[in-house]
Amino acid sequence: MSARQDPIGVFDSGIGGISTLQSMVRILPKERFLFYGDVANAPYGTKRTEEVIFCVRKVVQHLLERRIKALVIACNTATGAAAAVLRSELTIPVIGMEPALKPASELRHDGKILVLATPLTLKQEKFERLMALYGRGAEKVPCPGLMELVEGEDDEGARAYLERLLLGRKDLDRVDAVVLGCTHYVFLKPMIRAMLPEHIAITEGSEGTARQLRRVLAREDLLNEDGPGEVIFETSGSPESLELMKRRMAREA
C-alpha cells in the first residue's frame, strides 16, 4: 500500500479541532482522517509551554504508530507551543494553525481587531511575530475557561461569557473584526455573529488550514484521490468524550 492511502493524523485537546476536521473532510473527501482528542490533558491553553509540548509529544507518538502520512495540529495553542519542535523532529509534513489575523487585517478599515484565543496562544513568540506583521489595531483578548464551556456543550454558559466579554465593551462601534483564534470558538461563531453588530467581520482558520493541507499533500505527492474517505476518532478521555466527538462531527459548525 502506498503512503497516499495512509491516514492523516489530526489532533486537538478536545472537540475544537473537529471544526477544522469538518473543513478538511469537505475539501478532501477521499482521504482517511484519524482524529485524536487529548481530552485527558485538556485544556492546553492555560498550561505552560513545556507542559503542552510534553502532552503533544505523547499524542504524536501514538499517531505515528498508526502510520499517518501527515500531521495536522488542529489547535492554535498546540501549534504555538509545539509546531516548531515537531517540525524539527518529524519527517512527515506538519500543518499547523494560527489565529486568522492576516485575513482580519485585510478586512480592517481604521478600527480595532479583537483576537480571542487561549492565554497560552497569546503569550507565544509565534503570535508576537504574527502581531508584528498584521497586528495594527489588534488587541489580545484571552479567554480562559471558554473552551471548557464548548467541551461541556454549555451554550448558556458560553453566551453569558461572551456577552460579558464583548457586549460589555464601550468601543464595540470601533471594532472592525473579531478573530476566533481557538478551534473550539469556531463552534460559537453563529452565537457570536448574532450577538455582534453587523459591521464586525469574524475570521477563523479552518478553511485556510484545509486548503493548506491540500496544497502540502499535492506538493508531497501524498493526495489520496480515489480512497473511500473515512474518519476515525480516538481520545485519551472517556467513552463519553468519544461519543461527544462523533456527535459534534455530525453537526456542522
Dihedral pair phi/psi, residue 121, rounded to 5°: -55, -45
Q: How many CA atoms lie within 13 A of 219 on its CB side?
A: 9
Q: Which of 22, 183, 203, 209 binds ligand DGL (CB under 6 A)?
A: 183
* Three cell numbers, residue 173: 462601534
Amino acid, res. 61: Q
Per CB under 6 A, the segment of 12-20, 100-108, 133-141, 225-233 that binds ligand DGL is 12-20
**Number of residues in contact with ligand DGL, rule: CB under 6 A?**
16
Angle at 194 between CA 116 and CA 159, to 5 degrees: 60
Per CB under 6 A, the segment of 69-77, 82-90, 161-169, 217-225 that binds ligand DGL is 69-77
Looking at residues 125 to 154 of the shown chain, list those that interact with ligand DGL (rule: CB under 6 A).
147
| Beta partners for residue 56, in sequence order | none
Binding mask 224-253 for ligand DGL (x = CB under 6 A): ------------------------------
* Three cell numbers, residue 162: 461572551
Least Cβ distance, residue 163 to ligand DGL (angstroms):
21
Which residues have a catalytic role annotated? 75, 182
Per CB under 6 A, the segment of 104-112, 180-188, 206-214, 230-238 that binds ligand DGL is 180-188
Residues 6 or more apart whose CB falls under 8 angstroms from that of 125 comprise: none
How would you class 116 by CB atoms within 10 Å of its CB: exposed for 0-12, middle for 13-18, buried for 19 or more?
buried
**81 lies in the binding site for ligand DGL (CB under 6 A):** no
Binding site for ligand DGL (CB under 6 A): 12-13, 16, 42-45, 75-77, 118, 121, 147, 182-184
